[in-house]
Structure 1
């Protein structure tokens, strides 16, 4: 399965931007029917988005529905049932429990590939592993802004470190690709890249974006350097030559966990 590094959100009430978003270089595109669309535009945006998706040739674009416990969310689900589209994923906001994701799994047609829950509450964080550990869930997103509002905490790196670390652990245990929250200051590309590198160091290897300009910064942060790739190749080659026995490369002992990391670097940076 391809390793996705980036996801670009585009407002569901801006159909003039859909094609542009799909050409912006992000690995995935998510048309947003939730936060980006006001209450008065929910119905018309839903109709426009599903109509556009039914005619689109883009393969990695889908949508974020409204909360499944809301009237708008139930209307989104009903519309998806009736449309019966083939979609790579459906993103679900404010998922607090496994039962919610199971209900969504039962409700959505088989043409929807992955369920993509957003963890953005204290309760959701407590249940993250159970939410991620569902067969149809392959990706998840940390919704830091709503999470911070739920806790009434600051949105600094330090205050959210625990939540990020716990989600990274839950996602790894459930073999789920975790996306970090978009950088909310769209044009601060330097900090976008820096904080993406920090998230990568925690084990978060993908990030969402709210502006096309952020994609290149995210990709730079998540891509291994030429030296790291060559080192990974050397480690794998030496380990294979040693028939899986401990070997020394550049003065360092190379054992199975180091090889696992090297293989992951190569897989995530395939050209």
Structure 2
């Protein structure tokens, strides 16, 4: 399953207590930047991070605000209430909600925000996975994201466990059933480009269309892994040329039938190629 042409392909985390990195993250080539209040910020710096985000967001343009997500701490922590106040203060356009397990959590976060605000629920637990379709169809949800490292910890499974692939596939199915863009794959702790590219290629095979990154050096590998290959692109071009030449309707190409579903796949390949030059 391909990502929607309009859907971001990469999401780059930047620590909320390091405001000097915000502009650099936005200039990195990432489609979206996630200013983090959760894992990347030590407990002693949570308050300072909120202050830094509030100050920076107060002068950010609407274009920049549209590219920024804020990941808050989850509702079980002592920082959650203050994080919600920050979201209201800065009129956040998009929120990433960790360890999301219910529509109620999403409603609580989005209710005080502007009507157009959206959320990316992070599915990181068994409870979250079982609620995947419910989350995907909740009002204001832009896309599902897979917190794979936390999910492995929750189930106490290794990175090569089939249970991890099972969870990923369930998120892809729930996203498609809800009419959302393909979900966002979890981070790769290794900065190595080959490892990042391999992880993104595997995630793409499971139905994912984007990836979270923890370092700007990972972005090219993510975009490259999502870029259609030369053979794939040539196939899509030939399919569309034959389809248009025939004026629509089923036809044969290379001994295989070409009908509307095949054409849709070719169109998605061409759209993705246009976004990953």
- TM-score normalised according to structure 2 size: 0.90
Paired positions, count: 267
Q: What is the alpha-carbon distance in structure 1 between the residues aligned to residue 225 and residue 250 of structure 2?
A: 31
* Residue 102 of structure 2 is aligned to residue 107 of structure 1: no
Does structure 2 retain, via aligned residues, the 8 Å contact 1:96–1:119?
Answer: yes
Shift of 1:168: 1.1
* Residue 233 of structure 2 is aligned to residue 233 of structure 1: no
| 3-state SS, counterpart of residue 160 of structure 1 | helix
1:94 corresponds to which residue?
A: 99
Alpha-carbon displacement from aligned partner over 1:43-93 (angstroms, at most 9, x marks no partner): 1111111211222243412311111343312211122223335x3x21111
Alpha-carbon displacement from aligned partner over 1:106-158 (angstroms, at most 9, x marks no partner): 2323363x211100000000010110112311122100111111111112264
Q: What is the alpha-carbon distance in structure 1 between the residues aligned to residue 76 and residue 266 of structure 2?
A: 43
2:196 corresponds to which residue?
A: 192
2:217 corresponds to which residue?
A: 213
Does structure 2 retain, via aligned residues, the 8 Å contact 1:53–1:62?
Answer: no
What pairs up with 1:38-53 in 2 under 5 angstroms?
38-53=42-57
1:10 corresponds to which residue?
A: 14
Q: What is the alpha-carbon distance in structure 2 between the residues aligned to residue 247 and residue 202 of structure 1?
A: 29
Give unmatched runs, 5+ long, in structure 1.
Answer: none
Q: What is the alpha-carbon distance in structure 1 between the residues aligned to residue 78 and residue 22 of structure 2?
A: 25
Does structure 2 retain, via aligned residues, the 8 Å contact 1:9–1:29?
Answer: yes
Q: What is the alpha-carbon distance in structure 2 between the residues aligned to residue 126 and residue 111 of structure 1?
A: 27
Alpha-carbon displacement from aligned partner over 1:15-69 (angstroms, at most 9, x marks no partner): 1211111111111110100111122211111111121122224341231111134
Q: What is the alpha-carbon distance in structure 1 between the residues aligned to residue 78 and residue 115 of structure 2?
A: 22
Q: What is the alpha-carbon distance in structure 1 between the residues aligned to residue 52 and residue 72 of structure 2?
A: 14
Does structure 2 retain, via aligned residues, the 8 Å contact 1:4–1:28?
Answer: yes
| 3-state SS, counterpart of residue 260 of structure 1 | helix
Does structure 2 retain, via aligned residues, the 8 Å contact 1:77–1:108?
Answer: no
Question: Which one scores higher on RCO, CA 8 angstroms, separation ≥ 6?
Answer: 2
What pairs up with 1:48-67 in 2 under 5 angstroms?
48-57=52-61, 58=64, 59-67=66-74
Does structure 2 retain, via aligned residues, the 8 Å contact 1:84–1:111?
Answer: no
Q: What is the alpha-carbon distance in structure 2 between the residues aligned to residue 23 and residue 154 of structure 1?
A: 35
| 3-state SS, counterpart of residue 269 of structure 1 | helix
| 3-state SS, counterpart of residue 79 of structure 2 | helix
Give unmatched runs, 5+ long, in structure 2.
Answer: none
1:251 corresponds to which residue?
A: 255
Sort the Cα spacing of 1:135 and 1:241 in 2 relative to 1 into closer, same or farther, 3 A. Answer: farther
Shift of 1:216: 0.3
- TM-score normalised according to structure 1 size: 0.92
Moved more, 255-264 or 236-245: 236-245
- State which of 164, 167, 171 in structure 1 corresponds to 2:168: 164
Q: What is the alpha-carbon distance in structure 1 between the residues aligned to residue 273 and residue 133 of structure 2?
A: 27
